[in-house]
Amino acid sequence: MAAHSLSPPLSRLLFTVKYVSLHSRCCAVHSKAHYSTVYNPNEKTFDKILIANRGEIACRVIKTCKKMGIQTVAVHSDVDSSAVHVKMADEAICVGPAPTNKSYLNMDAIMDAIRVTGAQAVHPGYGFLSENKEFAKRLAAEGVMFIGPDTHAIQAMGDKIESKLIAKAAKVNTIPGFDGVVKTAEDAVKIAQEIGYPVMIKASAGGGGKGMRIAWNDDETREGFRFSSQEAASSFGDDRLLIEKYIDNPRHIEIQVLADKHGNALWLNERECSIQRRNQKVVEEAPSTFLDPVTRRAMGEQAVQLAKAVQYSSAGTVEFLVDSKKNFYFLEMNTRLQVEHPITECITGLDLVEQMIRVAKGYQLQHKQEDIPINGWAIESRVYAEDPYKSFGLPSIGRLSQYQEPLNLSNVRVDSGIQEGSDISIYYDPMISKLVTYGATRNEALAKMEDALDNYVIRGVTHNIPLLREIITHPRFISGDISTNFLPEVYPDGFKGHQLEVDARRELLASAAALYIAAQLRSQKVLGDQRVSTIPVKCTHWELCVELGKGCHAMEVTKSGDVYNVEVDGGKVEVIGAFNLASPLLPLTINGSDRMLQCLSRDASGMIVLQYLGTVFKVRVLSKLASELNSYMPEKVPEDTSSILRSPMPGTVVAVSIKPGDTVAEGQEICVIEAMKMQNSLTAARQAKVKSVHCKPGETVGEGDLLVELQ
Amino acid sequence: DWLVSFRSLTQVKYGAVSASVAQTNLHRDCRWYSVSHLSVRERIEKKRKAALVGGGQKRIDAQHKRGKLTARERVELLLDPESFVESDMFVEHRCSDFGMEEDRNKFPGDSVVTGRGRINGRLVYVFSQDFTVFGGSLSGAHAQKICKIMDQAMTVGAPVIGLNDSGGARIQEGVESLAGYADIFLRNVMASGVVPQISLIMGPCAGGAVYSPALTDFTFMVKDTSYLFITGPDVVKSVTNEDVTQEELGGAKTHTTVSGVAHHAFENDIEALLNLREFFNFLPLSNQDPAPIRECHDPSDRLVPSLDTIVPFESTKAYDMLDIIQAIVDAKDFFEIMPNYAKNIVVGFARMNGRTVGIVGNQPKVASGCLDINSSVKGARFVRFCDAFNIPIITFVDVPGFLPGTAQEYGGIIRHGAKLLFAFAEATVPKITIITRKAYGGAYDVMSSKHLRGDVNYAWPTAEVAVMGAKGAVQIIFRGKENQAEAEAEYVDKFANPFPAAVRGFVDDIIEPATTRKKICSDLEVLASKKQVNPWKKHANIPL
C-alpha cells in the first residue's frame, strides 16, 4: 500500500492535527533531530526490506528504511490488515490469521512473502522470529540477508545455559546457578535447594520476562516450574528451563553494543531498566544514575568482550544485574534490537536501525568508541493498554476511540504502531506506545515526561499512564534510588493511584467546579431567533457541593471572564481557563501554574471524570440544593461479589482446577487465564464450596465474565 | 375493561388515601380553619404557607424516607433557580362527601403543584403531583389545574413536563375524578405533535392514570421508586392467579427492557431531574420552532479517521453502531432513547454543529441489527417525534433485513414493520442517510432510503446494497447448479459494494467514512430551509 495514500488533504485547519499526526510521524519525525549522525545516501544497502513484525517496531524500522530510500514490505495477520505498519509500508502481505503462531511466527508464509516481493533482507524487530536461529538459517539458505547477528551468535546467546558458559569463558561476571537443563519439578526443587533460596526459574529460550518465576521455597519452585514451562512452551515452543541464584533487590542495567562483520564492536552506554513489574520493563532511562564512569567502562568492555567472543555483528544488548555495591553480573544477551533502544538513540545520536542495516550489508562501523557520547538524558515510558490497579497492570483490550499523542511538545518521541480507531486485541502485546522524552539533564527529561503524560489522550482502553506518572514523580525515582523491586516496595498493597494532598485536592475540586459552571453556562447559549425568548439565568456566583470519594466539599465560586475564583475547604483557588467543552484536554492555569487536565466524561447528573496528575478521579458536582436533597436519595446496594469470581481481564481459559461441589481453601487456584501470553492464576478469596463453574478450558472470556460461583 | 380494574386497584391499593383524611389534624399549626378574626392579607399569607408544605411535615418526612423528593423540591431542581411561576396555589378540592368538606381536609393547591418556569432559560410548563396530599390522588380540582397549564402551554407553544407521583383517582370524588383524567387525556392528544410532552414517573402511576404518560412523547422513570401498571399485583393475583411484585409488574426495569412503555430510567429523583434538564435542551419548544441550535465547540468540519477502520472486513462480524454515532456527533454527546429495549436499533438525540438531530441506527452488535417488531415500533415512534418537531433525522444503515420466523409473523411484523416504513416515508424534515455496510432487501427501502424522499443518501465504501446476502441469492439464482462458490464470488463482486446503488443514483455519493461528520454538517446547513408538504388530509392512517 502506498504511503502517500495516508496524506490527508492539506487544506484543513487546526482540528486536523490529530488526523495528520500519523503522517507527521511517518515522515517528519526525523527532522526533529532524534539522530545526530548523517545518513550517507551514497552508501548503497538494500533495495527492499521485509519487516517480519508488527506494531510500533515495524513502523520504527519502516521509518528508517524510508530515510534510507529502501522499499519496505510489511507482513500482517488478517486482523492487522488495516494496521499502521501495513499502511506505512510500500507493500503488504497477509501471512495468516490472528494467532501469532499462524501469522507472525509462520515461517513458511513469511518465506513466501519474501519470495513474492523479492525482498533482499529481513528486519525481524524484537520478539516473534527475531531470535529464532531456524528462521535465520532459512533466510541464509535462500540468500536473503537477516538484519541481525548471524546464526551462530543467535544460537550461542539465545540459549541461556550456553550463553552463561560462553560469558564465563569471556571473563564476564556471571551469577551462580545451575548450568544445565532442569527436567522435572522435583529436579528443580533439588537444584534450588543446592543453590539456596531465592532462586529464579526461567525459560532457557526465553526473553522479555516471559516464562520467568521467582521462588522462595520448595512449593513455589514446583509451581514456578509448571508455569514457566507452560509459558515457555507457548511463547517460544521450547519448554527447557534453568535455575539460578536470585539476586535480591538488584538493578537491571544493560549495555547496548553494536558490532560489524569486521571484528569491530562498540558499547553505546547503558540503559537502566530497573522499574519492572512481573519482570517486564515499564520505565527505562539512559544513562543510569547509578553508574560511575569506571563501572560503566568495565561493564561496557565486558559486553564488548562477549560480543567479540561470539563474533557478534549488528545491534545487541548485554543485560546485567547490578547489586547495591555495584557488582554486576551477566544476565543474558539479547541478539536483537531492544524495545527500549530509542533512549540510547537519544543520548548517542545514532540511528540503531540504520546501523543494523549498514552492518548487515557488510559495512564497517562509522564510529570509534571515543566517538560515542552521552548527550543529555532520555527516559522511556512504556504506555500499555492495561489496568495498573490490578497487579501493576493486567491487560485491557478495546478500541482506541480517541487517541492523540503529545507530539505538540518538543523533545518528545513517540514510537507507536496504532492510531485512533485501532483495536488493542487479545492476540498481541498490549503496548500502545513507547513515550520517550529527553533533555539536557535528567530533571529536564523528567519534567518533559510529566508534561507528555498529561498531554497524552487515550480513550477506549484502560492504560497505565496513572502508574507511569506516579513512578516518574516519586521521590525515590527522582533521587535514583531504585531497584527491580521498586514497585512492590513503593506500593506494597498494590498501586492505588495518586494520593491527593490538601492543595492538590482543592485544585482538582476547583477545576471540576469551573468545568461544571462552563458547561452550565453553555447550555443557555441557544443560537438563532427565538419565538419565545430565552431568559438566561443571571448568575455570577455559585454555591456548589463537590463529591470526591466519600467526602463532600462545599464551595463558592465567582466567575469573571475566564477566571473562576473558588473557595473550598477553607482555601482559595484561582482557576483560569477558556473551556473547550468538546476537547479532551483542559489546559488550565491553577493558582498561577499551568496544568493539563483531561476530561474523560461528563454527564447530566453532575458526574465529571477528570484525569489529574495522571490519575483518573470521579467527581460529582451538584448545586447546593441538589446536594442537600441528595441526602434523601436511597443508597443502592451493589452486587455481593465475594462469592463470585469474574475474569479480571479478557483472555483464554487455560485450566480449570476445580469442579462444582469441591471445597476450596483461601488462596487455592481456581482457574488459569492466559492473556497476552501471560498465564494468570485466579485464586479463591475465601474458603468455600464451589457452587457452579461457568467456564471451561479453551474458552475465550471477556473482562468481567462470570467464571465460578462459590457458595 | 380498564375502568373496572382501575377502580378496584385504587380501592385496594389506596384505601390508605381515605384513612389519611382523619389524621390531618396533626398539621393544625400550619393550616387554617376559622377565618373570621384575620384580615384577607393574613389569610393569603396563611394559605400560601400551607400550600408550601403540602400534606405537612410528617408526610414530607415519609416521602423522604421512601427516597423520594416532594413535589416542590422536584420542581425546584428541575427548573432554573427562582424561575418557577406557580398557578392555582389557592385551588382546593370540591368534594363534600365522606367528611372531605371539612377544613382540615382541604389543602391549598390540592395534590398537585402547577406552573411555568425555565430550563436553561427556555420556557416550560410543569405539573408535579404531590404524594403528601391524599397520596397525590387526582381530584377534579387537581385535573383542572393540570388542564389549565396544558392549555396555556398550547396557546404559547411551550413543552409540558409532568412529574407523576399519584396513587390514582380520588375515590371520594368518584366520577369527577374520572372526568378529570379524561380531560387530561384529551389535552394530551390535542397537544401531541404541537408541543413536546414529557412524563417523568417518580412514584406510583396506576390504573387509568397511566394513559396520560402513555399519550405523551416521552416517559421516563425512576428506578426502584416508580411503577406503572393498569392493575396492581393484588388484582393480578385475583384475576389471573399470577404472583408478581410491583417492581416486576411495572417497575422501571420492566418498562425499559420488556414492555417498551418507558424510554429511559434513572437511578433516583435527582439524577432523573438533572437528566431531564439535559434532555430538554435538545427539544424545540413547539412545532412552530426549528430544532434548537446550541453553541458548539466541536468543529463542524472535524475529520474522524477512526471511522475508516470501524467496519470489519468480514461482513459477518459485528461492530458497535454507537461508536460511529458518538464519533460523529458533537462532543460524543448522544442522549439515547430506549437504550435497553429493542437494542437492535439505536435511536436518540444528538447535535451536529450545535443543531439538534435525531439519530436512528441499526445496531449490528445485537441480532445483527435486523428489523423486528419491537425495533420497528421503537424506530417509528422516534422518527415521528422528530418529524413532528422539525428535528432532522440522520439514519445509519447496516441492516441484513427483517427478522424471519413464526414469532415475528404471528406477532404481525408486516404491520409493525410498516410503521417504520410509514414514518420515514411521511417525514418531511431533513433526512440524511448513511449506509455503513449492509442494506438488504425490504429493510433497505425502509431505512430512510432515497426512494422515501431521503434528502441526502451516502454510502461508505463498505456498503452493500442488495436484495439479500450473496449466499442466499446464489442459492436461488443458481439452484441445483454446481460451482456455487464461483457464483457466490461473482455475486459478491457485483453486489457486495456500493456501485449498484450509486450508478442508479440511489445513493448520492460514496464517501470516505472520515468525512462523514463534515458532510452531514454541511448538508444540514443547506437543508435548514427545506420545505416539503404532504398532500392535504385529515390525518394519515398509519397501520397501528
> How far apart (Å, rounded) are the C-alpha atoms in residues A284 and A294?
21
- Select from B224, B286, B297 the Cβ nearest to the Cβ of A581: B297
- Select from A399, A527, A626 the Cβ nearest to the Cβ of B354: A527
Residues of chain A with pLDDT > 90, as a percent, come to 62
* Cβ contacts of A609 on chain B, cutoff 8 Å: none
- What pLDDT, on the 0 to 100 scale, is given for residue A323? 85
**Is residue A24 very low, low, confident or very high in pLDDT (cuts 50, 70, 90)?**
very low
> How far apart (Å, rounded) are the C-alpha atoms in residues A539 and A558?
9
Measured in angstroms, the CA of A377 and the nearest CA of chain B are apart by: 35
Beta bridge partners of A586: A597
Q: Which residues of A are catalytic?
A: 336
Beta bridge partners of A71: A48
**∠ at Cα A340 (A334, A345), nearest 5°?**
105
- Residue B402's closest CA among B392, B394, B412? B412
State yes or no: is B182 an active-site residue: no
pLDDT digits (tens, 9 = 90+) for B247-258: 999 999 999 999
Cβ distance A629 to B73 less than 8 Å, yes or no, reads: yes
Cβ distance B270 to A622 less than 8 Å, yes or no, reads: yes
The structure's pTM equals 0.85
- What pLDDT, on the 0 to 100 scale, is given for residue A61? 97
Say if residues A679 and A227 touch (Cβ distance below 8 Å). yes
- Select from B225, B270, B299 the Cβ nearest to the Cβ of A15: B299
Residue A673 pLDDT more than 90?
A: no
Measured in angstroms, the CA of A522 and the nearest CA of chain B are apart by: 7
* Cβ contacts of B306 on chain A, cutoff 8 Å: 399-403, 419-421
> How far apart (Å, rounded) are the C-alpha atoms in residues B217 and B381?
9
DSSP string over B312-374:
-SSTT----HHHHHHHHSGGG--EEESTTSSTTEEEEEEEETTEEEEEEEE-TTTGGG-B-HH
Cβ distance A632 to B64 less than 8 Å, yes or no, reads: yes
pLDDT digits (tens, 9 = 90+) for B300-352: 999 999 999 999 877 778 899 999 999 999 999 999 999 999 999 999 999 99
- Select from A13, A523, A535 the Cβ nearest to the Cβ of B281: A523
Grid cell digits, residue B509: 455519493
B514 contact A CB<8A: yes
The dihedral sign for the CA sequence B413, B416, B417, B418: positive
> How far apart (Å, rounded) are the C-alpha atoms in residues B189 and B5?
23
Cβ distance A536 to B288 less than 8 Å, yes or no, reads: no
Measured in angstroms, the CA of A226 and the nearest CA of chain B are apart by: 37
Residue A239 pLDDT more than 80?
A: no
- What pLDDT, on the 0 to 100 scale, is given for residue A620? 96
B313 contact A CB<8A: yes
- pLDDT, tens digit only, all 544 positions of chain B: 343 344 434 443 433 344 344 344 444 444 455 555 788 999 999 999 999 999 999 999 999 999 999 999 999 999 999 999 999 999 999 888 888 888 888 899 999 999 999 999 999 999 999 999 999 999 999 999 999 999 999 999 999 999 999 999 998 898 999 999 999 999 999 999 999 999 999 999 998 899 999 999 999 999 999 999 999 999 999 999 999 999 999 999 999 999 999 999 999 999 999 999 999 999 999 999 999 999 999 999 999 999 999 998 777 788 999 999 999 999 999 999 999 999 999 999 999 999 999 999 999 988 889 999 999 999 999 999 999 999 999 999 999 999 999 999 999 999 999 999 999 999 999 999 999 999 999 999 999 999 999 999 999 999 999 888 777 788 788 877 777 788 888 888 888 899 999 999 999 999 999 999 999 999 999 999 999 999 999 999 999 9
Cβ distance B69 to A632 less than 8 Å, yes or no, reads: yes
> How far apart (Å, rounded) are the C-alpha atoms in residues B213 and B229?
11
- Select from A12, A532, A606 the Cβ nearest to the Cβ of B157: A532
In this prediction, residues A71-76 reach a mean pLDDT of 97
- Select from B69, B274, B285 the Cβ nearest to the Cβ of A604: B274
Cβ distance B83 to A537 less than 8 Å, yes or no, reads: yes
Measured in angstroms, the CA of B402 and the nearest CA of chain A are apart by: 29
Set B262, B427, B443, B502: catalytic member: B443
Say if residues A689 and A711 touch (Cβ distance below 8 Å). yes
Q: How many A-B residue pairs are in contact by the CB < 8 A criterion?
A: 147
The helix/strand/coil state of B239 is helix
- What pLDDT, on the 0 to 100 scale, is given for residue B25? 43
DSSP string over A646-695:
E-SSSEEEEEE---TT-EE-TT-EEEEEEETTEEEEEE-SS-EEEEEE--
Measured in angstroms, the CA of B407 and the nearest CA of chain A are apart by: 30
> How far apart (Å, rounded) are the C-alpha atoms in residues A96 and A518?
51
More confidently predicted of A278 and B131: B131
Helix and strand counts by DSSP (H, E) for chain A: 18, 39
- What pLDDT, on the 0 to 100 scale, is given for residue A666? 76
In this prediction, residues A439-444 reach a mean pLDDT of 96
* Cβ contacts of B59 on chain A, cutoff 8 Å: none
> How far apart (Å, rounded) are the C-alpha atoms in residues B445 and B433?
12
* Cβ contacts of A530 on chain B, cutoff 8 Å: 289
Measured in angstroms, the CA of A670 and the nearest CA of chain B are apart by: 32
* Cβ contacts of A402 on chain B, cutoff 8 Å: 306
Work out the number of other CB atoms within 10 angstroms of the CB of residue A78.
14
State yes or no: is B168 an active-site residue: no
Mean pLDDT, chain A, whole residue set? 88
pLDDT digits (tens, 9 = 90+) for A385-428: 999 998 888 888 889 999 999 999 999 999 999 999 998 988 89
**∠ at Cα A239 (A697, A184), nearest 5°?**
95
State yes or no: is B443 an active-site residue: yes
Set B62, B442, B514, B528: catalytic member: B442
Find residues 206-225 of chain B whose CB sits inside 8 Å of chain A: 224-225
